[in-house]
Structure 1
Amino acid sequence: MGERKGQNHYYPPDWRPELGGLNKFHGTHALAERANKLHLGIMVIRFEMPFNIWCEGCNNHVGMGVRYNAEKRKIGMYYTTPLWEFRMKCHLCDNYYEFRTDPKNFDYEVFSGARRQERRWDPASTEQVEATDKNTMQKLLTDPMFKLEHGKDDQVKAAAIKPVIDELSDLQSRMKDDYLQNSLARSIFRTDKKRIKLADEADQALMKKNSLSIQLLPEREEDRRAASLMKYISIESSEDRQKRKRDEIDARPVLPSSMEMQPAAAKIVRNFSFGSPGESSERLLSPLQLGIIPKRSMKSPALSTRLPITAEQPRTVLSLEDAPQPTEEIRPALRTTLVSDYGSSSDSD
């Protein structure tokens, strides 16, 4: 930007070429406000954070690569290399950072206002190319015998790794057709894309069927084997259960039969005792004792003599087998009912 500031500017009428450029004519610097402290040896530059730090003013993390407007000034020399100091203000608080160059270790050092976040690891553990140690580099420059020994070690390492390099070079030479490589890569990509899409559709259908809202993991052979050893019981749905209950109600008779009425009627009076005080109160009562009497017909007068119902009759009949049975000649005319004739004095059917 600085080299374009002198273009397309207005030149006043009193300007002459022998007076120099516009900056000299107006008494300003080409860097404008960046050179306001130039008389103090300070230049404002754009500084990029060389590593991760923790601010000592607000204890916030500042990542590597964050840029600041920093004041740059010279503080000394390391042999023939100048030492520079950079001062900048934190963007989250009023604290100031100060960094200095370290040409001896090819690094920056935090002078004040922050502390460095240490993130160091062994390059061999992350399968990275291990850089030469700084002490080793210093010995290579100053010790000829160490340099000779280091060279022999490098030759041994190169001979050991040469087969691997040759195999990689051969593999690369056999795959020189860019179109074939591109077609192969696209084919693999399409196949994987279709497979992932089908698996995702199956998962979505399963989640919708079972009303799930969790992420499903891919199936494994161990999971299939464990599932095959389990015994599952089919769960009846609410619709099937309701339909089954309705079918049972439809198949049930509206009026209960006489065999169903006997236990029900006996259950009502099960807790009442009859007879002597010593008798058990759990005995069943006969239909005559419960008030269930057969309907008498005028055509069979013998029925009244066969089945007398008087107040003096002792209540010792405990079941239907003990009740007096009608004779063969009046059995066809005997019809039992629970409904009495109300509102009519006729004995006809």
Structure 2
Amino acid sequence: MGERKVLNKYYPPDFDPAKIPRRKQPKNKQITVRMMLPMSIRCGTCGTYIYKGTKFNSRKEDCIGETYLGIQLFRFYFKCTRCSAEMTFKTDPQNSDYTVESGASRNFEPWRKEDEVVDKEKRKREAEEMGDAMKALENRAMDSKQDMDILAALEEMRSMKSRHAGVSVDQMLEILKHSAHQKEEKTVAELDEEDEELIKSITFRNSKDYVKRIEDDDDDDEDFGIPGQPSVMSKVLCSEESIVERSL
């Protein structure tokens, strides 16, 4: 059993590797590989959704005559997990991605659309700057201004954080309590002013006097009547005196 673990092999002195016969294989031979689905797709036959990361056995082959900057493109054949319909996709080294070729449709991915928009804007900017030096200078100036604005915003956030770092929880609660008390006092003062305005707005038909507000510090024996008329207490006393005279 030990001989199968030996790493070094014996080569005789008369060994000639050129005499080893070469195997003849087809130019585009398919091989079976185990892989995971690199994207979410929908089967075009039964409509089943097959999600990214699904493991399956596929057949791999070279795309004859299709290269990108010397990189060979590969095609993969696999079957649907439900209806066993054959689907194919191939590599896309230009975008570092894969493209569905037949038998299925790729699910909508919003981040891919955003990346496409960014790439389109980048290519458009490069085309504009290709023959216009002033345009390139303007774009660089705008980029530098944007970077300066971002740095200023970061510096402001950093300074604000440093100011708030020295505030303790007790100080924060005390400030909140003080602000709530001030707000309550302000609300009470506003209500008092509204009450005063309402009282002043009440007038009598034959008099220009307004109803006087009863203050909290007034005595109980103060005359609460209307100016120019007898008070309630005087009326009560008069009625009691008349009753006593009648009884006599």
- Which has more radius of gyration? 1
Whose RCO is larger (CA < 8 A, sep 6+)?
A: 2
Work out whether the TM-score is over 0.5: no
TM superposition score normalised by structure 1? 0.34
TM superposition score normalised by structure 2? 0.45
Q: Whose helix fraction is larger, Structure 1's or Structure 2's?
A: 2
